[in-house]
Amino acid sequence: MTKRLSWFTLLATACSTATPPSDATPDERAADVPFVDSRADGEVADRVELDATAGEDAALDAPAPDTMLDAATRPDAPINDADPTMPRCVPLGAPTGRVVRVTPAQADMLPSIVAAATTGTTIVLEDGTYRSTAVGESARRIQFNTAGVTMRSASNNASAVVIDAAYMTNEAITVHASNVVLAHFTVQRAIDHPIHVTPPAGSTGIRSVVLYGLRVVDGGEQFVKVNSNGANAWVDDGRVECSSFVMTDAGRTRVERNPGGCYTGGIDAHGARGWTVRDNRFDGIYCAGEGLAEHAIHFWVGSRETLVENNIIVDCARGIGFGLVQSGSARTYADNPYPGVSFVGHYDGIIRNNVIAASIRFFDTGVELAQARGARVYHNTVYAAPSSTGFFSPIDYRFANTVVDIRNNLVSRAVTRRDGAMGTVSNNGEMAAGALFVDPASADFHLRSTASSAIDRGVVVAESGRDIDGVAHNRGAPDLGADEYLP
């Protein structure tokens, strides 16, 4: 059997459009609480959260579009030849129901086209760049307020359809309804969040939002933000799959600096339950000395049962985080899964078969578990090149309410435990050298045949999933890390 090596091809710089200067004033800051250095114990900077809440409450039981094909999300799906830098996932199936086709010449009309869409409508974007010339945030922002609406490209080629906020729009796309699907296009250069998902005012919550086959480029703040409406309504059961998240050198200059100097990250979810993040690629989400960026993938503020698997994270400041702070406000649950525990940053959840690698000196932590109760961390590869001089920890578990299971990982430094955290930590390959892997410089972290310290060194774990190529960990004793070696 031949393993697929192109999963590890470095993602080409995605944004080639020139960046115009902008003096736009963010009038609707969709901010969240705090920058927090993973190594610091200091106070958290105060930051008020203002949620964009537009439109009427969406029906939670609206039917999910037929385009949401679970088979398309498996890691053994064929490569998308239209864009070889994208993960190996098949396009969504053909749209059903009402179809509305839009061309780049209608860019100024796209917000109103989305606003008029009814449940079951698919908005199909023809190839080209959509750059609004409308004046004002409300006229430029694309807002989904109706459940069961899909927006996707006609070509299924995310690189060919670009929604360019041009640093003139605070949030390029906001989602305030259930069963919304965004697929196969690029969204880039928002002042704040390229995509923001939050329930509308008066809602009891939304669910089943799908982000699939997207390219998200150069967010001034977190690229995808998921949070409550401030009134105990949350966003559950979402999926982010087969997408790429890229910060370019040009985009790095436009990052929000307050608070902390580098207020950006990949996916940032507050109080979100039952989300899946799989088969994605994250590149270059860091700041060059101005401060520590947030994680490529971060679920906290009482998030629960998150599955993070088969992602590749290259040259980001922090990889994957469950939880962050020691105490504060967070979502709680009626079934109270951990009675007597005062504060939980993240409940349960699995982080498995991810590759996190960096050669930048701004790389801090691979996997961060802070007040993470019941988290399982299996078969991840975390590698820091010698040039990553700021590297702190491959896997760090912290604070007294943290109870975790960390097994079968392959990491280039020792796992760290701090501040009374507890866990089962065994059968991890620590201090892993680059010689174990095929080509770390090209982000190819398949095991070499000579990697005897990793091959067959793991233990059987019921929830191990499949490796980064879709291979089960069942060929004898499992290997350590995200690759199951095949001769």
The tens digit of pLDDT for each residue in 121-142 reads: 999 999 999 999 999 999 999 9
Structure confidence at residue 88 (pLDDT):
63
What is the rounded average pLDDT of the residues 227-241?
A: 97
- For 215-261, list the strands marked E by DSSP: 215-217, 224-226, 235-236, 239-241, 244-246
**80 DSSP β-pair partners:** none
Structure confidence at residue 361 (pLDDT):
96
Contact status, residue 164 vs residue 129, Cβ threshold 8 Å? yes
Instruction: Reply yes or no on whether the pLDDT at 26 is more than 50.
Output: no
Structure confidence at residue 107 (pLDDT):
98
Instruction: Reply yes or no on whether the pLDDT at 427 is more than 90.
Output: yes
Instruction: List, for residues 274-328, the tens digit of each pLDDT value.
Output: 999 999 999 999 999 999 999 999 999 999 999 999 999 999 999 999 999 999 9
Instruction: List, for residues 254-265, the tens digit of each pLDDT value.
Output: 999 998 899 999
pTM for this model (two decimals) = 0.85
Residues in CB range of 484: below 8 A, 6 or more apart: 467, 469, 471, 472, 473, 475, 478
What is the rounded average pLDDT of the residues 177-194?
A: 98
Greatest mean pLDDT range, 90-94, 401-405, 472-476: 401-405
Instruction: Reply yes or no on whether the pLDDT at 228 is more than 90.
Output: yes
Structure confidence at residue 48 (pLDDT):
24
d(CA 314, CA 356): 6
Residue with token string 């698919």: 122
What is the rounded average pLDDT of the residues 62-71?
A: 33
Share of the chain above pLDDT 70, in %: 82
Contact status, residue 346 vs residue 308, Cβ threshold 8 Å? no
Contact status, residue 246 vs residue 214, Cβ threshold 8 Å? no
d(CA 125, CA 460): 46
- The DSSP call for residue 77 is S
What is the rounded average pLDDT of the residues 171-192?
A: 98
Mean model confidence pLDDT for the chain: 86
